[in-house]
Amino acid sequence: MFVVTKSNFGGAQRYVFDLATNLPTNGYDVLVATGSAQGSESAGSLIGMLQHAGIRTVFLPHMARDISPLRDWRTFLSLWKLMRDEKPDVVHLNSSKAGILGALTARLAGVRRIIFTAHGWAFWETRNFFSRALIYIISLKTILLSHQTICITRFDARAFDRISVARKKIVLIRNAARSPDGLLTRDAARSQLAPDAAKHAGAVWVGSVGELTYNKNIRTALDAIARARRSQSNLFYVVIGDGEQRESLIRYSKKLGLEGHVRFVGFVPNAPSILSAFDVLLIPSRKEGLPYVALEASNVPLAVLSSTVGGLPELIENGVCGALCAPDDLDCFSDALGELASDASLRTRLGNALKAKATREFNFEKMLQDTCALY
């Protein structure tokens, strides 16, 4: 049984989807329990995608990312009943809320094997000291209640090095992304993203993919695009994804004078297949584990300009297979965008180097095999 807090299709949900849809061929019967989509009372796209793939799902309407004693109590009761009815051999928990509630419930229900995957610790986020300390304690309790905790980056795996009882329960299993079944040609991908793609035929296309939340830092990306366009006016920026900040980001892009040079296209179900539309992938996040889109970019391959957070520097080596900037270093982002926009051979070299590294060190079959070994 997989449990994941939200049912919109972000990184943790992609991880659950990939494992859940590949485990049946390895002899597992799979059930996925998940809550509402972020900012909604209804189920997100994850449930429909899993059902289409033949995976059983259970919608837990009260489970959400934000803390609410009443909703959390109802979620606990729903999980308790589900685990008592299903009697899973393994419960695999994903994201913070599902982690602590699921681990506690699974222990009380007598589940024999409890696995938790940390998709980037929430205490790395920008919060006040009290909130970070509380989240750290909750994360520690989740590790202790689970039999094993998977960290997808070395950065996160080291967070509890000073607490031996937690350190012994943590294992590093890197994320990986298979090549999409149908990677579109550049022209086909651009036409899907922008009906007026011909108007931007001579532009350097920069893309970002993810939920439009504070942590994804798209506002800084817009600032960098605006500044880089002073010297490289041929930049065209496409943002794939939905989220709570979408409308405010659209207004901000217009304020910067980027109307016509930035396109917000919303959620795109086949995003890995259309990365071929881009010349540069931009990941300006303030907080990440190891985002799938960076791994998917290696399949194109693409030059990646990313922030230095989480596990991104473990994949992206600055100047070798991509470019790195601190999350709020606007000068760095704008200068790097200008350099990449002006040098096609540099983009090709960085993309090819990224593909070679991802092939060596971020292998999907190894991720699947190592995860099954924990079960």
Residue 307 belongs to domain with CATH number: 3.40.50.2000
Other C-beta atoms closer than 10 Å to the C-beta of 31 total 17
Kindly list the averaged pLDDT for each block of 10 residues, start to end, along the chain of length 375: 92 94 94 86 89 96 85 95 97 95 97 96 88 94 98 94 96 88 91 93 95 94 97 96 94 96 92 95 94 93 96 96 96 98 98 95 93 96
Indicate whether 150 and 212 sit together in one domain.
Answer: no
Indicate whether 199 and 327 sit together in one domain.
Answer: yes
Cα 270 to Cα 249: distance, rounded to the nearest angstrom: 23
Residue 66 is given by DSSP the state: S
Per the domain annotation, does 372 fall within a domain? no
Residue 39 pLDDT:
65
**Residue type at 101?**
L
DSSP three-state, residue 284: coil
**Residue type at 142?**
T
What the block records as the tokens of 364 is 């999907």
On whether the CB atoms of residues 57 and 32 are closer than 8 A, the answer is: yes
On whether the CB atoms of residues 226 and 258 are closer than 8 A, the answer is: yes
Residue 271 pLDDT:
87
* Domain boundary residue, one of 139, 172, 205: 172
Total tally of structural domains belonging to the chain: 2
Which residue is listed with tokens 């990224």?
354
C-alpha 232 chain-centroid distance: 30
Indicate whether 75 and 147 sit together in one domain.
Answer: yes
Per the domain annotation, does 329 fall within a domain? yes
Indicate whether 136 and 194 sit together in one domain.
Answer: no
Per the domain annotation, does 28 fall within a domain? yes
Q: Where are the alpha helices (DSSP H) in the chain?
A: 11-22, 45-52, 69-86, 96-108, 129-145, 154-157, 164-167, 186-193, 218-228, 246-255, 292-298, 312-315, 330-342, 344-361, 364-374
Indicate whether 129 and 206 sit together in one domain.
Answer: no
Cα 315 to Cα 329: distance, rounded to the nearest angstrom: 20
What pTM did the predictor assign?
Answer: 0.86
Range of the domain at 222: 186-361
Residue 324 has φ and ψ, to the nearest 5°, of -125, 145
Indicate whether 196 and 164 sit together in one domain.
Answer: no
- Name the burial class of residue 252, with classes exposed (0-12), middle (13-18) and buried (19+) by CB atoms within 10 angstroms of its CB: middle
Which residue is listed with tokens 């292998």?
363
Residue 149 pLDDT:
98
Q: String of b and e for 127-149 (b: at least 16 CB within 10 Å)?
A: eeeeebeebbebbbebbebbbbb
**Residue type at 173?**
I
